[in-house]
Amino acid sequence: MSAIIILLIISLLVAGGFLIAFIISVKSGQFDDDITPSIRMLFDEKDPESNEKTI
């Protein structure tokens, strides 16, 4: 029975750590831009040093 209590306390501490990490990442702006990564692959990146034209 004491093993269940210890495991419960450890799991709550781990879950709390993940919650704190999530809140910190949201406040720092980690999840602000959710549109650009999905459409970034649709745009061609041109090398400004290259004089070659893409077809």
Asked, for residue 53, whether it belongs to a domain, the answer is no
Look at the chain and report how many structural domains it folds into. 1
Cα separation, 4 vs 47, whole angstroms: 59
pTM: 0.57
Q: Which is more confident, 42 or 18? A: 18
Asked, for residue 6, whether it belongs to a domain, the answer is yes
Asked, for residue 11, whether it belongs to a domain, the answer is yes
Could you report the per-residue pLDDT of 18-29, keeping only the tens digit for each?
A: 999 999 999 998
DSSP codes, 34-45: -SHHHHGGGSPP
Query: DSSP H helical segments within the chain, as ranges?
Result: 2-27, 36-39
Asked, for residue 16, whether it belongs to a domain, the answer is yes
pLDDT of residue 9: 97
Domain housing 11: 2-40
